[in-house]
């Protein structure tokens, strides 16, 4: 079926794109648009053209699936040029989202009419590329250089009203978009085409200092990324060069982005995030339960943060605490969080009150009896969790979903204390729960398909990316964190300074070094956990020096001393001579001859430990896809998105290389912690990648 059709409406041609789900600019659409422009030019009965889309959105961009193979002619830059060069006025009729190449098509039209609810954006930077069909040249011309830098470097969706203010849209309508665009086109016949590319930029304001200041303002946010600098260079070119030369500059720049590994990694993340909701045994036909009211047990930082997610989307929440004082404190923290957002202009005062109005505090389990979903976020011990679930079982209504926010404990065991294990699962939120996008959805042995399906949908509804994990200690994320932390710590005992380990991992792109993270989490947490464990079950060489820090009062950031020193009120880690002395004593006690380590050695140890554990998780079926693991690490653990997550990173190294290096570590450090994952061995020997493995999985 043709993806582009033409309907003559009197002397106006209505060119309609119909390429579900998002009208991406696949080859047939590009060809269809190009043919339509030729047909409209040649048709003497036509005086103006409207380009509109069927379905839920205007064109949402180039077809990302085509990037892997390289698109066929006609290429998008040529098609948009053809539209701009039309001798008859062309009007874009925008609904939904005009994104990337879609907006570039609209910018090459001579006028733009949009629904008030529409949004426009140039999100290419998030895919590791840049608006390469004239977007970097035309958008600054029509919307101004500052707005172009904002939109192109953030990739954000700009609301129609703001875009109108920028001059990027000409008219907004509440409804009847196509009719309004046709009327606009009729009015434009006498004016003729107004070409974005022909607009002038007053270059005098935008000197080197202007762009350097902008670069500085985004440096933190874009650390390690390749495409943002290319985007800026293109906008500089738009200021300096005539359109034709600017377009040539843009074309060369997008070419560099396309061959850079970051674009492959970021595109992998785009699809990975959309794969997570494909679950074996769950489909559109699986029934869902209605979630109209949510109960949260525990009004601490975690419980309060979890509750906010639901209030944010208009779902009433009952927050339960054991004591009134703790409840009041929890509710006050929630209010403070909302007020902080209001102070930053993200919410209105009204919004704060509306959201707070959805909170109902209680100290009685009975008040949870009308909740459709109840999530416990209490202290992390099995005994307490079991007591909570026993109480819940007694009060929750039939069909209510009962969830634990445990980050580690066995959900099957928790479910077993209830008379309804099919209604139980894990919902592991990440702190701060109102901010972090990741949600691990833990499918227990007995979890019913409709319970899982409901929670997968719920994750999306509250703006989370929900990844399904199986029941194993630490699920996906924390299970992998353990060997990663072990290797970071062993590097310290073997000779690296803590700040060298952190600098190596930060340089790799992690949001924070592992030892800084330990200080933030509190060294006493792991210490207390280990007290309940058999020393034979963990690597004491990696933990004994931590124990000494805790025993000398260095519990981490909260007390101003941990692996690092912290000045009063400061969160900036400073190397500590006292800690270094303890580390050196521990190395000597263990008979380890300290040797300096390069950043590459540190990265290799930490990353290969992470990857090997990921491969075990995958091989055991605790994650459905390698790409799910990538989504967990990027969204929950500060892994750099531009490396595509640990499993994609492993693929980029080559699984054969990864496997051989892990085997060599097993020889050097002993097999106990470096036994290669059977799946890794299998894939490496077959010359395959984790991406190949994923292709065989569901979805």
> Catalytic site residues?
104, 124
Query: Is 640:224 a contact under the CB 8 Å cutoff?
Result: yes
Please work out the total of residues on this chain that contact ligand 3H9, with binding judged by CB under 6 A: 24
User: Out of 3, 19, 34, 97, which residue is the one contacting ligand 3H9 (CB under 6 A)?
Assistant: 97
DSSP 592: -
DSSP for 599-617, written as a single string: HHHHHHHHHHHHHHHHHHH
User: Of the two residues 250 and 604, which places its CB atom closer to ligand 3H9 in the complex?
Assistant: 250
The number of beta carbons lying within 10 Å of the beta carbon of residue 57 is 21
Surface-to-core class of residue 256, CB atoms within 10 Å of its CB (0-12 exposed, 13-18 middle, 19+ buried): middle
Q: Which stretch binds ligand 3H9 (CB under 6 A): 57-65, 379-387, 467-475, 645-653?
A: 57-65
User: Out of 3, 49, 63, 543, which residue is the one contacting ligand 3H9 (CB under 6 A)?
Assistant: 63
Binding mask 111-140 for ligand 3H9 (x = CB under 6 A): ------------xx--x---xxx-x-----
Q: Which stretch binds ligand 3H9 (CB under 6 A): 87-95, 97-105, 193-201, 571-579?
A: 97-105
Q: Give the whole-angstrom CA distance, residue 127 versus residue 567.
A: 40
DSSP for 126-146, written as a single string: GGTS--TTTHHHHHHHHH-HH
Q: Give the whole-angstrom CA distance, residue 470 versus residue 426.
A: 9
Q: Give the whole-angstrom CA distance, residue 665 versus residue 180.
A: 68
Binding mask 69-88 for ligand 3H9 (x = CB under 6 A): -------x------------
User: Out of 14, 17, 24, 424, which residue is the one contacting ligand 3H9 (CB under 6 A)?
Assistant: 24
* 358 is a site residue for ligand 3H9 (CB under 6 A): no
For residue 551, the minimal CB distance to ligand 3H9 (Å) is: 50
Widest pairwise Cα distance in the chain: 91
Q: Output the six-digit token pair for 66.
A: 């085509």
Cβ neighbours for 254, distance < 8 A, ≥ 6 positions apart: 129, 130, 132, 230
* 477 is a site residue for ligand 3H9 (CB under 6 A): no
Q: Output the six-digit token pair for 249.
A: 């500059």
User: Of the two residues 147 and 576, which places its CB atom closer to ligand 3H9 in the complex?
Assistant: 147
Backbone angles phi, psi at 50, to 5 degrees: -120, 130
Binding mask 271-290 for ligand 3H9 (x = CB under 6 A): ---x----------------
User: Of the two residues 63 and 628, which places its CB atom closer to ligand 3H9 in the complex?
Assistant: 63
Please name the residue that has the structure tokens 């009197």: 10
* 99 is a site residue for ligand 3H9 (CB under 6 A): yes
* 62 is a site residue for ligand 3H9 (CB under 6 A): yes
Is the alpha carbon torsion for 253, 254, 255, 258 positive or negative? positive
* 305 is a site residue for ligand 3H9 (CB under 6 A): no
Binding mask 239-278 for ligand 3H9 (x = CB under 6 A): -----------------------------------x----
* 64 is a site residue for ligand 3H9 (CB under 6 A): yes
User: Of the two residues 21 and 345, which places its CB atom closer to ligand 3H9 in the complex?
Assistant: 21
For residue 115, the minimal CB distance to ligand 3H9 (Å) is: 15
DSSP for 31-80, written as a single string: HHHHHHHHHHHH-TT--EEEEEE-TT-S---B-GGGGGT-PPSSPHHHHH
User: Out of 32, 89, 100, 140, which residue is the one contacting ligand 3H9 (CB under 6 A)?
Assistant: 100
Sheet of strand 48-53, all strands in order from the earlier edge strand to the far edge = 4-9, 12-17, 48-53, 90-94, 111-115, 171-173
Of 610, 605, 617, residue with least CA distance to 666: 605
Of 556, 490, 571, 548, residue with least CA distance to 521: 556
* 340 is a site residue for ligand 3H9 (CB under 6 A): no
* 465 is a site residue for ligand 3H9 (CB under 6 A): no
For residue 469, the minimal CB distance to ligand 3H9 (Å) is: 20
User: Out of 14, 22, 234, 377, which residue is the one contacting ligand 3H9 (CB under 6 A)?
Assistant: 22
Surface-to-core class of residue 71, CB atoms within 10 Å of its CB (0-12 exposed, 13-18 middle, 19+ buried): middle
Q: Which stretch binds ligand 3H9 (CB under 6 A): 95-103, 222-230, 327-335, 410-418?
A: 95-103
Q: Which stretch binds ligand 3H9 (CB under 6 A): 98-106, 233-241, 444-452, 552-560?
A: 98-106
Backbone angles phi, psi at 48, to 5 degrees: -155, 165
User: Of the two residues 61 and 303, which places its CB atom closer to ligand 3H9 in the complex?
Assistant: 61
* 65 is a site residue for ligand 3H9 (CB under 6 A): yes
**Residue ranges that bind ligand 3H9, judged by CB under 6 A:** 21-22, 24, 57, 60-65, 76, 97, 99-101, 104, 123-124, 127, 131-133, 135, 274
């Amino acid at each position: 079926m043709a993806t582009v059709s033409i309907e003559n409406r009197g002397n106006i041609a209505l060119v309609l794109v119909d390429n579900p789900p998002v009208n991406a600019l696949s080859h047939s659409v590009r060809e269809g648009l190009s043919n339509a422009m030729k047909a409209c030019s040649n048709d003497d009965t036509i005086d103006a053209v409207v380009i509109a889309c069927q379905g839920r959105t205007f064109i949402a961009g180039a077809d990302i699936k085509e990037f892997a193979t390289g698109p066929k002619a006609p290429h998008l830059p040529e098609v948009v040029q053809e539209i701009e060069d039309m001798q008859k006025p062309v009007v874009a009729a925008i609904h939904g989202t005009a994104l990337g190449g879609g907006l570039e098509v609209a910018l090459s039209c001579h006028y733009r009419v949009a629904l008030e609810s529409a949004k426009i954006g140039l999100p290419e930077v998030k895919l590791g590329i840049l608006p390469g069909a004239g977007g970097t040249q035309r958008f600054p011309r029509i919307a101004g250089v500052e707005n172009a830098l904002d939109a192109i470097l953030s990739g954000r969706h700009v609301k129609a009203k703001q875009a109108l203010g920028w001059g990027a849209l000409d008219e907004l309508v509440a409804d009847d978009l196509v009719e309004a665009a046709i009327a606009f086109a009729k009015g434009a016949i006498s004016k003729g085409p107004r070409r974005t590319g022909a607009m002038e930029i007053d270059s005098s304001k935008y000197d080197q200092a202007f762009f350097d200041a902008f670069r500085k303002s985004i440096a933190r946010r874009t650390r390690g990324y390749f495409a943002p600098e290319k985007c800026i260079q293109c906008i500089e070119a738009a200021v300096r060069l005539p359109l034709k030369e600017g377009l040539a500059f843009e074309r060369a720049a997008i070419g560099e982005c396309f061959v850079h590994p970051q674009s492959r990694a970021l595109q992998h993340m785009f699809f990975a995030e959309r794969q997570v909701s494909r679950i074996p045994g769950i489909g559109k036909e699986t029934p869902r339960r209605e979630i109209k009211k949510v109960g949260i047990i525990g009004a601490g930082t975690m419980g309060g943060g979890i509750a906010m997610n639901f209030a944010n989307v208009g779902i009433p929440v009952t927050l339960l605490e054991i004591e009134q004082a703790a409840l009041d404190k929890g509710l006050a923290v929630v209010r403070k969080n909302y007020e902080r957002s209001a102070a930053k202009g993200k919410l209105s005062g009204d919004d704060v009150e509306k959201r707070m109005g959805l909170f109902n505090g209680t100290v009685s389990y009975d008040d949870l009896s009308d909740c459709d979903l109840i999530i416990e976020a209490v202290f992390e011990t099995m005994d307490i969790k079991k007591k909570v679930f026993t109480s819940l079982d007694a009060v929750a209504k039939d069909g209510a979903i009962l969830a634990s926010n445990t980050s580690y404990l066995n959900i099957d065991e928790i479910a077993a204390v209830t008379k309804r294990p099919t209604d139980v699962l894990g919902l592991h939120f990440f702190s701060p729960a109102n901010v972090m996008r990741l949600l691990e959805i833990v499918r227990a042995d007995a979890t019913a398909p409709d319970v899982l399906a409901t929670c997968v949908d719920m994750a999306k509804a509250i703006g989370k990316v929900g990844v399904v994990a199986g029941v194993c200690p630490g699920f996906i994320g924390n299970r992998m964190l353990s060997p990663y932390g072990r290797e970071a710590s062993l590097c310290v005992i073997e000779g690296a300074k803590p700040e060298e380990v952190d600098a190596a991992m930060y340089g790799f792109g992690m949001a924070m070094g592992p030892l800084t993270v330990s200080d933030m989490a509190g060294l006493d947490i792991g210490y207390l956990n280990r007290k309940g464990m058999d020393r034979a079950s963990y690597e004491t060489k990696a933990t004994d020096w931590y124990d000494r820090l805790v025993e000398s009062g260095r519990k981490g950031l909260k007390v101003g001393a941990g692996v690092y020193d912290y000045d009063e009120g400061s969160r900036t880690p400073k190397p500590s001579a006292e800690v270094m002395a303890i580390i050196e004593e521990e190395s000597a006690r263990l008979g380890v001859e300290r040797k300096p380590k390069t950043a590459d050695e540190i990265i290799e140890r930490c990353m290969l430990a992470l990857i090997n554990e990921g491969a075990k998780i995958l091989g055991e079926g605790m994650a459905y896809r390698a790409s799910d693991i990538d989504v967990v690490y990027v969204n929950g653990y500060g892994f750099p998105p531009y490396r595509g997550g640990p499993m994609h990173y492993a693929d980029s190294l080559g699984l054969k290389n990864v496997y051989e290096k892990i085997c060599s570590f097993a020889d050097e450090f002993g097999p106990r912690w470096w036994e290669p994952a059977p799946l890794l061995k299998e894939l490496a020997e077959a010359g395959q990648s984790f991406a190949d493995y994923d292709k065989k999985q569901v979805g």
